[in-house]
Chains A and B, each alone.
Chain A
Amino acid sequence: MLLIRCPYCEEERPELEFRNAGEAHIARSTNIAAESDEDFEAFFFIRSNPKGLIYERWRHIHGCARFFNAVRDTVTDKFVMTYKAGEPKPKLKEGSH
């Protein structure tokens, strides 16, 4: 079983307590009505789906119930790091972990 570090509980917890919540750092437009169809499509449907490092939202739903962000490698399934929601996106180089 994977152990995922929850930044709010400040320790590693079993993966069964967590739920994935999609890609992180997708900002909703402040004026969504003025968005063009193309921009809205990109915001709403298009995800990066990389092979390698991905920035994701996760929720410690069966624990503190908080959302946080995680950096995960989609090839190895390894969690590189987790950080609190609202914190800036960490810059990580591919293959540096």
Chain B
Amino acid sequence: MAKAATAAGTAALRRPAQAGREFSASAAKVAMLPPAERISLRAPEASVAALSKALGVKLPQAPKTSASAKGRTALWLGPDEWLVIDEAGGDPLADAAKAKDLHSAVGISHRNVAIAVTGAGAEATINAGCPQDLSLAAFPVGACSRTVLGKIEIVLLRTAADAFRVECWRSFSDYAFTFLTDAARDAAA
């Protein structure tokens, strides 16, 4: 999309929602992450091998797991559904198109924004609005899930023992960020 606009000489100015916002409390830090390329991928089991090869990351097939390679992460969302996030400036949509097997890939780079929640209180911060068990035993590093945060739906990925990536729709980003800010303040108390 951005490439097409540049070619036509009308480069779209991209202003990511909440860009640059961050908040630090004693136990947790909440910060907007830079823009990334994302696709929503649906495919039957028979196409998984070819798509993994085309994308350069092995699509995980176990519930609540993710796989990562060269700045690209594939998150299992459902039995035939993945969210692929590319933070290395690649084009996952074009790569998926190289696979000739049946699949549906939809570019959602601009639909989502990501918020990083880090620190010793990160777990408590997310748990302020997310009812899932986020202990390391139930939600280890690399675990991911679509779930809820307060009144909105999010995709949650644990990037380290004390770090989470929260993906939400950009129109909900102000709500999500404010919610996490309040939660981080409470987690410190």
Contacts and interface: CB of A to CB of B under 8 A. Distances in A.
Interface stretch (B26-34, B75-83, B118-126, B173-181): B75-83
A14 interface: yes
B81 A8 contact: no
B79 A8 contact: yes
* Range for the number of chain A residues in contact with chain B: 10 to 19
> Per DSSP, are chain B's interface residues mostly helix, strand or loop, or mixed?
strand
A63 B145 CA distance: 7
A76 B148 CA distance: 26
A8 B131 contact: no
B147 interface: yes
A21 interface: no
21 contacts: A1-B131, A8-B78, A8-B79, A9-B63, A9-B145, A10-B63, A11-B63, A11-B64, A13-B132, A14-B132, A16-B131, A17-B148, A62-B147, A62-B148, A63-B145, A63-B146, A63-B147, A64-B63, A64-B81, A64-B146, A65-B77
Interface of B: 63-64, 77-79, 81, 131-132, 145-148, 153
Interface of A: 1, 8-11, 13-14, 16-17, 62-66
